[in-house]
With several copies, the nearest count.
Chain A
């Protein structure tokens, strides 16, 4: 099973069980539904901004999916809650770059924190979409919440 340890790191398996943020968010500023057509799994992720509109106050999501997708949503919630919108955009970009790396290079641990555990997933091309699911939904939420603001 040693082959799998790069994919299913302890941190991922742990997040997939804890599911931080799992549950519907009341009064969201933006919400987005994302589907993975390969498997039919889906997630609906919502955010609330603080009064200034520049910081993500809360994240909540509901969905069903594999351990990678659930762990990714959970890790994302931990990482992005309380972060500035600009910072979140950088996070999403960095996560996407890491997921496209096919396992090459070093992930930016300073920026991504625990989420670097997903670096190993990038070697499994068929699972990259799993890890991206929540992040794509978050990106769409941020885009629509800030568009509404403007």
Chain B
């Protein structure tokens, strides 16, 4: 699967790309479906569906368990997928751990640190052990997945949770980070790209500050890995998390990236079969990374499908994907900005943002906005997008979010703009 990225991307996608997504050919409420909720979950191309099915019909067997020909085949497919994903994000094979989803990946780090703090990882895991007085730093804009696990870790260890404040538009800068990160900071966890504002954090700069203070850096890369070229090594982060279902891959699988020496020392929070060397009734010794974390039967066909999704994205070229989405982002912001009385959350028009926009329509509840768009075949996301503290900070309870991906067309964005312009009139909320 290779497509010429210049032909494919640049605002006008050829029909050949759309045709590879059967889901998108549907109607919604009598209109052609405009699927503008890819930031929540993306749709899968036929190549990904076919790859998983072919694996299941021909190569499916237990992985890393036993030594039969079938196990050789399934294990080969499984580990090849890991190598494909590793190369995609600038990681070594042993730096990629399969998880249930990105949320699970972040939890594995936070729970492993709690184990280390309780002495379960021995002296090797000292770098992860927190004590009262230590600080964990997040931002006020985090998804609950990158907030609650840290709250729980603080509660278990007596460490203090602090946060980088956001401005009235929901974004923050390097100075905000520098004023919160200090010598007591042991972990800095933040989203690369916010799923509400579309703001991209200055990752390398924050990592530099954090490391200067001896803190670990955990990156929530859910909204960046699917949309732009990423090299975790070059970004200088210690851990990162992302989900397959937001990048043309299946649900049921996410990825934890970690630097090899760190992963080898982090206590495995979830334990069970295939993670061990020697087990007695009293105790267990664990394998090095990644296997020490992969307890029980793994999402094998899902790993194979994710590998295929990565090949599909590589075929498009991530540089081209990013350029395509930058164009759509600009169009999206233009469409929203020209509607009077609508509040756009996140970076102002003109500033860079991911291809997503959350808006508040004064006088109309987000669920009613979403319902109105839905009736016109436009599927968006409404609610707090798992970021209640950010919404509270913005003085909002819920927003309406439109988000784009490789298959999104300029026409869909324009349909969204036209429909959004009619919302306040319909609900009698004034001009």
Question: Which residues of A does B touch, CB under 8 Å?
Answer: 1, 3-4, 7-8, 13, 17, 35, 37-41, 64-68, 124-127, 130
A24–chain B nearest beta-carbon distance, Å: 20
Q: Which residues of A contact B162 (CB under 8 A)?
A: none
| Cβ contact within 8 Å between A126 and B397 | no
Chain B residue, CB-CB nearest to A7:
B371
Of all chain B residues, which has the CB nearest A5? B375
What CA separation (Å) do A37 and B44 show in the bound complex? Answer: 29
- Residues of B378-431 at the interface with A, using a CB-CB cut-off of 8 Å, are 382-384, 388, 397-398, 422, 426-428
Distance in Å from the Cβ of A35 to the closest Cβ of chain B? 6
Instruction: Give the chain A neighbours of B358 by CB distance below 8 A.
Output: none
The CA of A7 and the CA of B368, in the complex, are separated in Å by 10
Cα distance A67–B427 in the bound complex, in angstroms? 9
The answer to whether residues A126 and B71 also contact, given A1-B426, A3-B30, A67-B365 and a CB cut-off of 8 A, is yes
Cβ–Cβ contact A64 & B397, under 8 A: yes
> Contact: A40 with B388, CB < 8 Å?
yes
Pairs of residues from A and B, 5 with the lowest C-beta to C-beta distance, nearest first: A66-B365, A126-B67, A3-B375, A66-B367, A4-B375
- Among B351-370, those with CB < 8 Å from A are 364-368
List, in ascending order, chain A residues with CB within 8 A of B64's CB. Answer: 38
**Is B278 part of the binding interface, using a Cβ–Cβ cutoff of 8 Å?**
yes
Considering the chains assembled together, what is the distance between the CA atoms of A106 and B297 in angstroms?
A: 38
Q: What is the size, in residues, of chain B's interface with A at 8 Å between Cβ atoms? A: 35
Interface residues of B, Cβ cutoff 8 Å to A: 29-30, 64, 66-69, 71-72, 75-76, 276-278, 287, 291, 364-368, 371-372, 375-376, 382-384, 388, 397-398, 422, 426-428
Given A1-B375, A1-B426, A67-B427, also A41-B397 (CB < 8 A):
yes
Shortest C-beta distance, B195 to chain A (Å), equals: 16
User: In whole Å, how far is A45's beta carbon from the nearest beta carbon of chain B?
Assistant: 18
User: Known contacts A4-B375, A66-B368, A67-B368: does B30 contact A40 (CB below 8 Å)?
Assistant: no
Give the chain B neighbours of A40 by CB distance below 8 A: 277-278, 383-384, 388, 397-398
